[in-house]
Structure 1
Amino acid sequence: MDGLVLLPPVVAIVLALWTREVYLSLLIGLWLGTTLLEGGNPLEGLRRLGDEVVAVFADAGNTRVVIFCLLVGGLVALVQASGGVQGFIAWAQRRGWGATRRSAELLAWSVGMLIFVESSITSLVTGAVGRPFFDQLRLPREKLAFYCDATSAPVCMMIPLNGWGAYVLGLLAAQGITTGAVGLLAHSLLYNVFCWLIIVFALFLAWTGWGFGPMRKAEQRAAATGQVLRPGARPLMAEEVAGMTPVENAPCHARDFLIPLAVMVGMIFVGLWATGQGNLMAGSGSTAVFWAVSVAMAVAMGLYALPRPLGGGRPVLSLTQGMSIALRGMGGLVGVTVLVVLAFALGQVSRALEMGPYLVGLIHPDWPVWWLPALVFLIGCFVSFTLGSSWATFAMLIPVALPLAEGLGLPLPLMLGAVLSGGVFGDYASPLSDTTIISSMAAACDHVDHVNTQLPYALLIGGIALVVFLVLGALG
């Protein structure tokens, strides 16, 4: 099939950005892929499409991520109905946080930098903390989604004391690199050019307020009209959840927001430690986030059900009310859950078509040595963007790039840095990436609007990174 294997994800992405019908676009790309797998028979392809969607749930990690998306809706609804979000806003503003555009954007960037244990939780906490301030200051949800995304996968890969670092070390071990693997990974972070650049670029935007392209237009729209969402936008978190008002006589205490949030972040460490048998870096990220949001929701319901002495002994929410609100919140995230399932299914089909190995096979050892790091980065960008997965990209490119570097005398850290940079590019920018989808959800933003506004930024930083890798390759 050769080049035909590229069509399913490319068609899905192009259609989604062109028509804004992201669900239909994913289904068309998925059908095209299953049709190719069935030898060009569209009816058999349609049958296999259903099988591939069901097969998503055969992977326990995928299923945990899907359930996590639903539970997030319940947690968000609970903390808003309790008045905790409003209490946190008042508490933060008394301390001068989020009072101006700069401080609100710096707050979002800082939160993303501090929570580096798991990319999904990073996006979720950044969105939960930043959204009230962004809405109040007439900053577009697209800008908040950008910060959720720019400080999730890039930060997790730059501070690899988490599942990301463990995964890369596992891939290095599979190549026979055990002695000195940690040192190689640490050294490669100096060459993880895309991650460095996007993190610094996000800080630059937060500090200066500069912008261009669709993001600048979104900022102008929000500032002029107060519309933090584009008219006609379809946010991945329903507005009845994102904009839920506190129940009558809610005390509006900051602790009703901060305690569930702290429990969720703390449970990430507990989950990674438990699943890694005492080693945080060996833990399961999908299990940890599932435990974290589940326990946080249970703690929130229990906290709000306790009698409040200053409220006449009444609870903020009874257990019955809390369960009803949580279920309503979960219902508001059915859309994002479907989107994640379709993206996972398309990733499965693309891997079955061996799209990644086809692209990796384009690398030829006889080509000029100096531009191979840039070529590896470029291929990594394309693979991760079309698959929507940095980890799949790492698994495909590390077994090729490192032996190539050894055989041609290129520095191993440079080639590993190129692989990591290329993989994170797609995890950050692709509309098929679960990180990008969860960032849209965390910011309660239209997914296509999020992708459209941040893609020019991703391409700018990706282009600069490509030039840097050309220079590094020439310097040897």
Structure 2
Amino acid sequence: MALYTKNVIVSLFSGICVGLFILNNYDVLASLEALYTLFTFLLSEGWILKTLAFVILAGAIMALIQKSGGVHGFVNFMLHQKKIIKSERSALMVSYILGVVIFVETSITALVSGAVGKPLCDKYKIPHEKLAFVCDSTSAPIGSLIVLNGYGALLLGLLNTQISQGYIQENSTTLLINSLMYNFYAISALIVTFTFIYFNFEIGAMKETVYKAKVNVDKEHRPSSMYYMLLPIFLMVSLVFVFLYITGNGEILKGSGSSSIFYTMLSTFVFILFYYVGTKNLSLREWSSTAYKGAKSFVPISFILVFAFGIGNVTGELKTGVYLSTLATENVNPYFLAGSIFLLSSLMSFSTGTSWGTFSIMIPIAIPMAVGMDTDVALAIGAVISGGVFGDHCSPISDTTIISSMASDCEVMDHVKTQLPYALISGVIALSLFIIFAIDPMQYL
């Protein structure tokens, strides 16, 4: 369904319905009752509700930061730093550094990097395809490496589901941190992008790009201080660690990821209310209407989360992972399991345009397979994360691909064509590393 419709919400819901239909011996009424019971259970779980609230708050905060004019203030600040920005390399490096530093939400990363980089590119006549590549190649990769964001909330939720199913006994936060060192695609993509900027490493369609002057007709910007952007972002980054420490009773690694991210976003949301309205940047009516519009735009992501947790429960009851691990034991060499998971996740993510949906489908399958074949579970999770980000990075229907193109003011397909060769290089490097580390991971650490 996901490959055919390219609609993750419909596909996940269909998978849940079919799974419950099988579990209830093809009884329609019993399946409908089970469907109601499942979603009642999901929406009564505290950590799930906190995760959904986080997503809605993230949408509201994104919209408020944009409306405040803080991004525009930061752009104006950077344009006047002539001692810092002297060349094409330094202009693109600013967007790269922003993409690495602002890891809280991939859309924010792409929007801020693009908003700051676009006037710099215009000043130095840099093709906007190059900027789009930098924005896209830092947003999802860095977000999947420093998972104090929506990625972390989703992955922790999926891992908690597997723990409740009895497949793994390890603390979900610790397991996620261990798996991040195997996120080979994200690491490779960041290195390749840095090489592209520093050495002007042009290959494929990127060699043919030329600067096209754009007429700037954006009338929405207001002259505001850059601190309207910087302070909320700083608060989001710092408070995550504070709440991890609090919920972990003094141990950050044992803290609750879903609770910490929720409390962080709620605190930032309240801070923005007093900061923006108190300084008369926004009126109370502007603040509320902007927050509502931003939250509303993220409702589809909350649906993906609910269905993701639902299909995790259903596949657990169906023992899908156990069945697939049995097949894999007979047909796949354990040394190639992580590489196979990476390729399958890449294909799924590319076809659907979403890493979130790929994680939701593949995590409940990959973990039981790794357990059943007695291979490194963290490596399998890293393969899912890498594959999801790789496919999402390359896909022309990905939200980050589209946002990066829009923020950089270039055509989506021009961005896809110029970015693809670099993404493929990173993909080949990642696949090779998954095979190498599967042989004996510890000897390479």
Find the aligned partners of 2:261 and 2:427 in 1 and give their Cα distance. 29
**What is residue 65 of structure 2 aligned with on the other side?**
79
Find the aligned partners of 1:227 and 1:357 in 2 and give their Cα distance. 57
**What is residue 273 of structure 1 aligned with on the other side?**
245
Cα offset for 1:49? Answer: 5.8
Aligned: 1:106 with 2:67:
no
Aligned: 1:362 with 2:318:
no
Cα offset for 1:198? Answer: 3.2
Cα offset for 1:75? Answer: 1.8
Aligned: 1:372 with 2:299:
no
SS at match of 1:151: helix
SS at match of 2:43: helix
SS at match of 1:38: helix
Aligned: 1:388 with 2:359:
yes
Matched-pair identity in %: 20
Find the aligned partners of 1:47 and 1:344 in 2 and give their Cα distance. 18
- Paired residue type of 1:13: L
SS at match of 2:250: coil
Any conservation in 2 of the 1:86–1:252 contact (CA below 8 Å)? Answer: yes
Spell out, residue by residue over 1:166-219, the C-alpha distance to the aligned partner (whole angstroms, 9 max, x if none).
Answer: x99x98xx97999xxx9xx87x98766445423323333444364658xx69x9
Aligned: 1:259 with 2:225:
no
Cα offset for 1:272? Answer: 1.3
- Paired residue type of 2:5: L
Aligned: 1:198 with 2:189:
yes
2:220 to 245, 253, 265: 245
The 1:291–1:211 alpha-carbon spacing in structure 2 relative to 1, beyond 3 Å, is farther
1:131 to 85, 97, 114: 114
Any conservation in 2 of the 1:123–1:149 contact (CA below 8 Å)? Answer: yes
Aligned: 1:64 with 2:50:
yes
Cα offset for 1:78? Answer: 2.2
- Paired residue type of 1:253: S
Cα offset for 1:112? Answer: 4.6
Cα offset for 1:91? Answer: 0.9
Aligned: 1:421 with 2:382:
yes
SS at match of 1:110: helix
SS at match of 2:329: coil
SS at match of 1:152: helix
Cα offset for 1:105? Answer: 4.6
The 1:301–1:74 alpha-carbon spacing in structure 2 relative to 1, beyond 3 Å, is same
**What is residue 330 of structure 1 aligned with on the other side?**
295
Any conservation in 2 of the 1:377–1:466 contact (CA below 8 Å)? Answer: yes
The 1:73–1:445 alpha-carbon spacing in structure 2 relative to 1, beyond 3 Å, is farther
- Paired residue type of 2:70: G
1:286 to 258, 281, 284: 258
Normalising by the residue count of structure 1, what TM-score does the alignment of the two structures yield? Answer: 0.64
Could you tell which deviates more after superposition, 287-296 or 197-206?
A: 197-206
The 1:335–1:210 alpha-carbon spacing in structure 2 relative to 1, beyond 3 Å, is farther
Any conservation in 2 of the 1:251–1:316 contact (CA below 8 Å)? Answer: no
The 1:176–1:142 alpha-carbon spacing in structure 2 relative to 1, beyond 3 Å, is closer
Find the aligned partners of 1:83 and 1:192 in 2 and give their Cα distance. 35
Any conservation in 1 of the 2:345–2:388 contact (CA below 8 Å)? Answer: no
Aligned: 1:154 with 2:145:
yes
Normalising by the residue count of structure 2, what TM-score does the alignment of the two structures yield? Answer: 0.68
Structure 1 unaligned residues grouped into runs of 5+: 1-10, 17-21, 229-242, 308-314, 406-414
Find the aligned partners of 1:227 and 1:358 in 2 and give their Cα distance. 58
Find the aligned partners of 2:402 and 2:58 in 1 and give their Cα distance. 9
Find the aligned partners of 1:90 and 1:396 in 2 and give their Cα distance. 51
Any conservation in 2 of the 1:374–1:466 contact (CA below 8 Å)? Answer: no
Spell out, residue by residue over 1:246-299, the C-alpha distance to the aligned partner (whole angstroms, 9 max, x if none).
Answer: 4xxx55111122112211212111121111112121122222222222222221
- Paired residue type of 2:267: V
Any conservation in 2 of the 1:104–1:133 contact (CA below 8 Å)? Answer: no
Cα offset for 1:66? Answer: 2.5
- Paired residue type of 1:388: F
**What is residue 233 of structure 1 aligned with on the other side?**
none
Find the aligned partners of 1:69 and 1:149 in 2 and give their Cα distance. 16
Cα offset for 1:46? Answer: 6.9
Cα offset for 1:303? Answer: 1.5
Any conservation in 1 of the 2:63–2:290 contact (CA below 8 Å)? Answer: yes
Q: CA RMSD in A?
A: 5.0
Find the aligned partners of 1:426 and 1:366 in 2 and give their Cα distance. 21
**What is residue 15 of structure 1 aligned with on the other side?**
5
The 1:391–1:303 alpha-carbon spacing in structure 2 relative to 1, beyond 3 Å, is same
Aligned: 1:144 with 2:105:
no
Structure 2 unaligned residues grouped into runs of 5+: 122-127, 349-356
